[in-house]
Amino acid sequence: MTSRKGKILIVDDNAGIRQALKILLPMHFAEVEALPSPVTLVSALERFRPDVVLLDMNFNTSINTGNEGLYWAGEIKKMMPEVEVVLFTAYADIALAVEGMKRGAFDFIVKPWDNEKLIEVLTAARDKARKAMGREECHPERSEGSMFWGTSPAMATIRKTLDKIAPTDATVLITGENGTGKDVLAREIHAKSLRSGKPMVAVDAGAITETLFESELFGHVKGAFTDAHTDHVGKFEQADGGTLFLDEIGNIPLHLQAKLLRAIQSRSIVRVGGTLATPVNIRLICATNMDLEALVREGRFREDLYYRINTVHIALPPLRERREDIVPLSQLFLERFARKYHRPLTGLDDSAKAVLESGRWSGNIRELQNCIEKAVILSEAKNLSARDFRVDPSGSASRMTGDAGTAKAVSEAEEERMVRDAMERSNGNISAAAKMLGVSRPTLYAKLKKYGL
């Protein structure tokens, strides 16, 4: 979790939303204020001096077009250019939110929101504003989503590559096992690119159903199909000017790969049900845990698409190949979770280091993080030791991992607790919980059914 710093002002006429955010955001911001309307916004800005304003696009007036949000976003930027504005919008008003970003808004959040995405956007806006205002500390804490490079030769080589390619618009393919941090590396590339002030839109390509694939990526026009009640802006357009990150690209069915290839080649899209081609200016980053070359040989992945997305290939090593980074990573996670759960832990003793360094870590960094988090929660000592980690005969710390789609656990009781904990921490988000546990979505669904969760 990021540290509590900075101020955020919420402007939303929904009392339930204001209340929910006043419970959630104090865990991430030092001060939180909320207004039911923009009537007193100007005086609130002068008095409160926020870093970020989370601004609803519509209020309780006779006209509900989103123009109010655009108007007030412009007024905020005129009055306080250094304050970052994040627009809060309904699904149907995404096009207006995109227009708001063109007018200076930092980003937008769609209601109903995902807590993890909301916090990621708001804290990024806060950090940008505090840096511009000179409020940022000289040595800010490492954010939870930042890249840990460590000292291994493999990661040093990757870092040099990143420094060379980040300022360019080169398409990047990131490969690696589950849990190696492919999404984190993608964010690092975007953050160091010339597009860092624009949005990075992440898409779990493997989680999109085939029927919604074109609509999600390219958008649709009103009336394109039965439930298309309004125009919808797809991910390509949302990322215009910034970076589009296609995760799990190896899972896209073969017949849909041709449609993706056309959009990538032409850098333009046609919305479902539409006829006009819309140009998009994106930097493309893709990631997969699959062997795409093998899929190409088997005829399951288009060769022309593979070469189109593979301008620069970065292969992230598994944690077992960078063992010198296990203890520093563990210490980093320990400090983070000690702050999060208010535990007086300060470090790892020698026995804990030995156990951690001997582990197989099939789930890589994600598994290590989950293991440390569990130990921090349960430990009552000042330092973690070997007794805080269950060890199986292979020398790996107790964990639940995905192996050919099967979840393994030390015991059913422990597995159920881990699944329940992951679902609680992810607020019921299946994809996020599956990533925490290092298993596939189908595996997690099976476990939820098994334990009646």
Locate tokens 């790892």: which residue? 348
CATH topology match: 7-133 vs 153-315 = yes
| pLDDT attached to residue 274 | 87
Would the pLDDT of 307 be above 90? yes
More confident residue, 60 or 234: 234
Superfamily of domain 7-133: Response regulator (3.40.50.2300)
Q: What is the pLDDT of residue 406?
A: 31
**Dist. CA 93–CA 282, nearest whole Å:** 22
pLDDT band at 409 (very low <50, low <70, confident <90, very high): very low
- 3-class DSSP assignment, residue 8: strand
Q: Which residue has the tokens 């870590």?
A: 361
Which comes out higher in pLDDT, residue 211 or 366? 366
**What pLDDT is attached to residue 414?**
61
pLDDT value, residue 27: 86
Tell me: cis bond preceding 279? Omega within 30 of 0 counts: no
Contact 319, 368 (CB under 8 A): yes
What average pLDDT does range 22-51 have in this prediction? Answer: 89
List the chain domain ranges: 7-133, 153-315, 321-450
Q: Residue 267: what pLDDT?
A: 93
The pLDDT of 353-372, averaged and rounded, is: 90
Distance CA 446, CA 444 (A): 5
Global confidence as pTM: 0.59
Strands 347-348, 383-384: pairing is parallel
Work out the mean pLDDT of the chain and round it to a whole number. Answer: 83
Instruction: Report how far apart the first and last C-alpha atoms of the chain are (Å, whole number).
Output: 26
pLDDT computed for residue 443 by the predictor: 75
Q: What is the mean pLDDT of residues 153-172?
A: 94
pLDDT at 436: 66
- Identity of the residue numbered 15: A
Quickly state the pLDDT bin for 453 (edges 50, 70, 90): confident
Q: Count of CB atoms within 10 A of residue 211's CB?
A: 9
| pLDDT score for 339 | 86
32 or 389, higher pLDDT? 32
Q: Which overall architecture, per CATH, does domain 321-450 show?
A: Orthogonal Bundle (1.10)
3-state helix, strand, coil in the chain (%, to 5): 50, 15, 35
Domain 153-315 class? alpha beta
Specify which of 66-75, 100-109, 305-314 reaches the highest per-range mean pLDDT.
Answer: 305-314
Position 400 confidence tier, pLDDT thresholds 50, 70, 90: very low
Express each pLDDT in 134-154 by its tens digit.
655 433 344 455 788 888 899
Using the CB atoms, write b or e for 120-129: b if 16+ within 10 Å: bbbbbbbbbb
pLDDT over threshold 50, residue 403: no
Average pLDDT, integer, range 405-423: 59
pLDDT value of position 325: 93
Percent of residues, the chain, with pLDDT higher than 70: 86
Amino acid at 112: P
pLDDT at 167 over 50: yes
Mean pLDDT over 384-393 rounds to 72
Nearest-angstrom CA–CA distance, 141 and 271: 42
